[in-house]
Structure 1
Amino acid sequence: MISTVVLFVAGLALICIAGDRLVDAAVAIARKMAIPQIVVGATIVSLGTTLPEILVSTTASFGGSAAIAAGNAFGSVICNTALIAGLSQTIRPAGQVGADALAWRSLFFFLVIGIMEIYGGQKGAYGRPFGILLLIGFVVYACLSVRLSSSEERGEEEGAEEVSVPKQLLILAVCAVLLYAGANLLVDNGIRIAQALGVPERVIAVTFIALGTSLPELVTSLASLIKGYGNVGLGNVIGANILNLLLVIGIPAAVQGIPLERKTILVDMPLSTAVMAVLLVPILIRKKSSRVQGMILLGIYALYCIRSFL
């Protein structure tokens, strides 16, 4: 038990340090290239912080634990939005959000998850053809992010100090690896505890694993708030949620298919859509968020966790 606690603390320290440095590197790139913070958060940062979910789901799928692959993805969307974004907006609501950068990504997310809900509800699984379709969706999302970034609002901090973009990209890559290593330590120990308590596989996936693999997003969002770059954290959550749908489910589905549990279809998918609507719709209308939104999202996540265990 002592070794488990030590590994848990080591993992926590690792993701805190790596998450802090990742934010610095991302903001440096945004300043150098005059890219809006929310765009950097929704692309470069979100890809790095979503690596744990991608690797965990792919590994779980190959190991025959398909419920973990699907539950991890939707559980992470719920965790990213209701817990991480909820906590961030409660502490410091986002102001002056880039409408262009947020609007098309919001539409893209709801379109993708709507198709996934309809298809999953009818088929009860995501087969290889659908997995390949999700991967094609990722290519489309990446192309749109590059193409539309030039027309989206520019950051306010242009003309900052000279930085080496290749060096900052290398730091981002190293930090992403360290984030995964730290999250993996936390996930492994959390699963052992859960299994010892007899917690079902789906509940482990949507709570322990989803929370563990979402820790990079949590640390990144909190570090962004502390440093005054709240839009990086908001963009990270939105981008990570899109990648959860397209890659975390798309990769294992394209390899061998993913069967869906009834509770995933009836609970996790609709709730993923609902919490994103609570987060995004008011921001799109008012161009800023509020603490009320954050508190509502935190309340939803608390009820979701209680419901999952009961």
Structure 2
Amino acid sequence: MTATLPDFLLEPLVRAALTEDLSPMGDVTTRAVIPAGVRYTARLNAREAGVVSGMQIAAVAFRLVDPALRLETQVADGQPCQPGDTLMTIDGAAASILMAERVALNFAGRLTGIATLTAAFVAKTRGTNTRITCTRKTTPGLRAVEKLAVQHGGGFNHRYGLSDAILIKDNHIAAAGGITAVLTAAKAARSHMMRIEIEVDRLDQLAEVLAIGGADVVLLDNMDTPTLHQAVAMADGRVVLEASGNMQLPRIAEVAATGVDYISSGALTHSARTLDLGLDF
């Protein structure tokens, strides 16, 4: 089943984008040159290959401008596309289509780029049990839809924010007085529904975490591939292992081959290229 969000969660994002584009005087070009009553059928087309995301939010943009527009999605979020494929058709008032065009394309192109890059990462893990996951390195205000695009590309989501999991990083360890102190405090404070993850960048730190217990996940930060192999052997399935730190596409296959459970990469969202999509009358 394709991952979606309720439209009412997407509407504030789209309203803000439409307001930015149309304020304060509306679409003066369309008003000047398009006669009232002109109708057209427009096609949202892919101009390069990828994995589609953002069709839902593009539809919200068109409907917010004009609920009377008739929309039909040909390629759903999470599906592959090729150059020339029509992803969506929009039929109705030409002025309405033109007003929503750029906002719809901005969202769809950005999110399709994220889904496409995620799919490329996932492809590098084939034959292993490693999963690709995103991070909190998202565009401010767009985290929900960017993380949705990661799912459309076949990836998984890390925590959404600071409130849904305990993730102890190096600065927490330093400020709390060390690994033993920080894990002891975290175990005492967490609810039965909340998982604990702790970041380490050396094998002796991993050994300390394993000896203390209490961590559900260990983030192996900026370790080279031989060290990751050693970490997997040390953990021996006792905790979930996540490899992170400069995880770029050329390295993913060799990291997955170490046996880590997850590879997290901020690049999925902060470095994805916008895919070229166009709206053609």
Q: TM tier, shorter chain? A: under 0.3
Larger proportion of strand: 2
Structure 2-normalised TM-score?
0.24
Query: Highest Rg: 1 or 2?
Result: 2
Structure 1-normalised TM-score?
0.23
Higher relative contact order (CA 8 A, sep 6+): 1
